[in-house]
Each structure stands twice: as structure tokens, then as C-alpha cells.
Chain A
Amino acid sequence: MDMITATDVRFRYEEESGDATAVLNGVSLTIRQGEFVALLGHNGCGKSTFAKHCNAMLLPLGGQVLVRDMDTRSEDLVYDIRSTVGMVLQNPDNQLVSTIVEEDVAFGPENLGVPPEEIRARVDEALKAVGMYDYRKHAAHKLSGGQKQRVAIAGVLAMKPACIVLDEPTAMLDPQGRREVMDTICRLNRENGITIVLITHYMEEAVLADRVVVMDEGKIVKEGTPRQVFSQVEELRALELDVPQPTELCFALRREGVTLPDDVLTVEECAAALLQQLP
């Protein structure tokens, strides 16, 4: 079953002067249930704008976005659409609303009118899922960046979404926080079957996805498994993107005439490939 189906989506922001810049120029993309998709592209390519179309925060000016067959333009479905697709943003400090961790996580389900006993159960479950249950009584503002971001994810989880869209959730985090958040995302996808759309500038995070989608100038320009996409080093560079360092190293050595595979993604694969070539 398809989670999100975008068909020829067009969007532009109107400016005060009356000028309009086209941001999405016909994006067609289907995200299947249970899939983990990474969305890449340089700043200003339209990926965040597209993300906001996934739960009706923005409505397409042309084309159509369906969330589990619900058209995002039908006003009476907005409620159902937003409880199907949750959103996590870059800055954890902008997303926490309460002073105590468990109250923050309860905010969403409270607003959905969920009965109190059910809220309790959902909050506990969500906090356990992100590994923050022991911190449920803590002050939210005193947590580390990675912990705050996991609480933000728990807040979305408590609304029982089938899909979570994360817009650069690790951009402000230290390496440890980044690992915590990425581990959580992967686990939610594999163990709880939650569909993930991850926007990121970190190529080593995109490697973890089932599928990588690259946007440029409001269009999708590349799509495939991480292996297929990242083997195209030069094309990605032309799109102002990068490849993971192990891929880049193999690419640099291949150019010097060393025989190495072009689809190396991780540190382990890179070391193994090099060891094979070293006499």
C-alpha cells in the first residue's frame, strides 16, 4: 500500500512584491508503507517545501498529494492526515512545549482528545520506543540535544502516526546525539514498521535508507538505492552534494587507476575492498 503519493506537485511562495518563485516544479513521488526514504538536495532545492506537503502544512498549487488515498486539499481530512503523518523539525528547542518530558509527549494525544488512561499508555510506550522512559519526569530544557530530539520524536509517536517526516533532525546535534537519533529512526522503521522520510545533509545518514531521492530546482533528479545513487560521484557533485567519505576515497583511488568497486558505502566495505587490492 502507498503511504504518500505525490503527482506532479507544483508550488511557489508569493512574495510581498507580487513576485513568485517556483519552488516545486512537478514533483511525482510515491512512498510505500514501511519504506525508509532519504531526501537529499542542496539548500533551496525544495525538499523542505515538499516535506510540508506530506502532512498538509502546505497545499499544492498544482498536482495532488494523497496520504493513504486522502487528498491533502480536502479540509475535513486534515485532522486524519496529520495524525497519519507526523513531522519532526531541525531545532529541538522549537518543538518542545512543556517543561516536563512526559507532559511534552502527552501534548499531542491530549489535543487529539485521547482519553487520559490511553494517553498514559501512549506516552510510556513512546518514551520507551526512543529510549527516554527513564527521563520521563525530567525537565525538558535540561536535556542534551540528542535527548531533546528523541523526546520530540516521542511526542510525534504518541499520536500513533503511520509515517514520520524528519527535516534535518540531526543538524544541530553532536556526534553522539546524531547516533542516538539515527538509531531511534532505524529502529522505529524496522521494528515498528513506521514509514520514514528523512531529509538530511549528512550522506552517511542517507546510506541507512532503503531509497535515496535527490531533488534539484524543485524536481526529482535522481532516485535509487543508496548504492545506486552514491556510485554516481560526479553527478552528485554537480548537484552540489557529496558522497560518504569511504565512497569518495574509493572514487579518488579509482581515478588513479586502482581497481576498486564503485558502490562502496561504509567504512567496513571500504577497508575490505582496499585490503583485497593490497598485496
Chain B
Amino acid sequence: MAVIETKQCTVRYSVGTPFEREALEGVSVCVNEGDFLGIIGHTGSGKSTFVQLLNGLLKPTEGTVLVNGRDIWENPKEIRRVRFEVGMVFQYPEHQLFEETVYKDIAFGPKNQGLSDEEVAARVYRAAELVGLRRELLDKSPFELSGGEKRRAAIAGVMAMEPSVLILDEPTAGLDPRGRESLLDQICAYKKQHNTTVLLVSHSMEDIARVADRVLVLADGHVVMDDTTEAVFSRAEELEQIGLSVPAVTKVAAALRKAGVALPDSIYTVEQAKKALLPLLKGGTHRAV
């Protein structure tokens, strides 16, 4: 079932001024329940504009946005409800921490949803545990946490609202390799637990390759690819042309194929490369004739 659907959405900024500019043009995308959708595109391609449409932070200049089948702008007074359904983690979400304690910060969202104190508490603990924040940190000021912990606290604040769609804009930027890996694992775990639909915007092709099962590619305000991760990363040349890239291991596989090695064009993680190469390296017939 489609959780989110955009129909011919166009967004223009500064309409009626000399600075008028089209950020998105005629974007129609359908996100199904349980999808893990990766969104990639160069700076200025419209990724952030696109995700802001989905929870009503931006109103399309033309077109409609449907969440669970309902036009979110049908009744603009109820737009707040959409924000509980579609949770958004912005870039550098740690800059938005503001409460006295980590607990209160994570509780802010669910409290605004009008949940009981017990339910709020249960959600705060669940979310904190999921992102790997130790209990004793909950009583601290968010400003005493390390950078990585702050990021986790901010993400927990959105997860605690238990939205049916979770959108994350560059959640791993600036984290070290192990931090990236564990945060991505936690997002996957959350998705599994709550059967959430997840949209992940990232500049890291490796991150997208690891977690997404579908990838949306934006360029200059248009959708240029919308396909399985495998299919998108097999179009390396087109991706390079629009300022993107493919994981290094995909490039290795492409170089080998070019030299005549029979490898599938669906290799985008180290694990897949290893699996495909081992039988070839350990004997048998290997070269395409």
C-alpha cells in the first residue's frame, strides 16, 4: 500500500520575484509501506525540498501530496497531524536540542501528541535504548553529551513519536565509521520493530548501498531514477555524470567485468563482492567467453 504519494509536485521558491526558481518539477513518487527508500542527488538537486513536502513543511506550488491516501493540504489546519505521522530528522539534528535534560528533550514530541505520562516515559526509554543512549545520560543536560550522543538523542526524540514514516536527512554526516555503522544498524532495528517506512537522504553511496532496498535519484529538481538499489548502482556512468558516484567495490566489479570476468552487475557491498568472487577464485570456469 502507498503510504506516501506525490502527484506531479512542483515547488517554486520566491515566486513573483526576479529570484524565482524551480526547486522541483513534476515529481511523482510513490512510497510503499515498509519501504527503505534511499534518496540521493547532488547539492541543490531538490532532495531536501522533496522530503519537506512529505510532512507539510513546504506546500507544493502545484500538485498534491498524499499521506495514507489523504491529501495533506485538504484541511491546512490539521497539518500538524501529518507531522506526527511523518517524522523528520533534519541535518545536524543535534543543533535543535533545547531542553534541560535529555529525557525532556526526547519526551517533547510524544508529549505534544497528547500521550499520557506513562506512555511518554515508556516511549522515551524505548527510543533511548534503541539508539544506544545509557539510562544515566537521560538526566544530564543534552549539552553535556558528546557529538555522537547528541545526534542520537535528537534522533530518539523523533523516534519516540513513533511516526509511521521516518525521514532522515544525512543522519550520519560527520560521524566516524563505527558511529555511522551503528547508527544505520539502529535505524534498521527501529524499522523492523515498528514496521516503519524509512526515507534516508545521504551523500554516502556506501550508506545507501548498505541499507536501502530502493533508491530515488534526483537531479535538477527531477526524478531521474527510481528503482531497486541494485538497478540504480548498475548505472554507474549516468550517476557520475550527475555528480554522484557508486561505492568503490562496485567500481572494482565494473573493472573486472570490463576485463572479461563474468560477474553480475548487482554488486554494491563488500559482502556481495566477496560472495561473487570466491567461487571464481577457488577454481572452475570463470571468464566469459
A contacts, CB < 8 Å to B = 15, 41-44, 90, 144-146, 168, 171-178, 201, 203-204, 240-242, 244-246, 248-249, 252-253, 256-258, 267-268, 270-271, 274-275, 277-279
Contacts and interface: CB of A to CB of B under 8 A. Distances in A.
B177 A241 contact: yes
B244 A268 contact: no
B248 to A, nearest CB: 4
28 contacts: A144-B42, A144-B43, A144-B44, A145-B43, A171-B174, A172-B203, A173-B43, A174-B203, A175-B203, A175-B205, A175-B243, A176-B42, A176-B244, A201-B177, A204-B248, A240-B178, A241-B176, A241-B178, A242-B178, A248-B249, A249-B252, A249-B270, A252-B274, A253-B278, A258-B278, A275-B259, A278-B286, A279-B283
A12 B207 CA distance: 34
Nearest to B280: A278
Contact of B281 (A244, A253, A268): A253
Nearest to B239: A175
B225 interface: no
B251 interface: yes
Contacts of B173: 171-172
Contacts of A172: 91, 170, 173-174, 203
Contacts of A175: 42, 203, 205, 243-245
B274 A256 contact: yes
Contacts of A242: 177-178
Contacts, number: 125
Contacts of A204: 248
Interface in B254-289: 255-256, 259, 261, 270-271, 273-274, 277-278, 280-283, 286-287
A256 B270 CA distance: 14
Given A44-B148, A270-B252, A240 B176 contact: yes
A278 B247 contact: no
B43 A249 contact: no
B175 interface: yes
Contacts of A203: 177
Given A174-B42, A174-B43, A201-B174, A277 B252 contact: no
Nearest to B178: A240
Interface string B165-206: 000001001111111100000000000000000000001011
Nearest to A248: B270
B69 interface: no
Given A44-B147, A245-B206, A253-B274, A279 B42 contact: no
B211 to A, nearest CB: 16
Interface in B102-157: 144, 146-148
4 cross-chain pairs, A with B, having the tightest CB-CB distances, nearest first: A176-B243, A242-B177, A271-B255, A240-B178
Contacts of B176: 41-43, 201, 240-241
Contact of A271 (B91, B147, B247, B252): B252
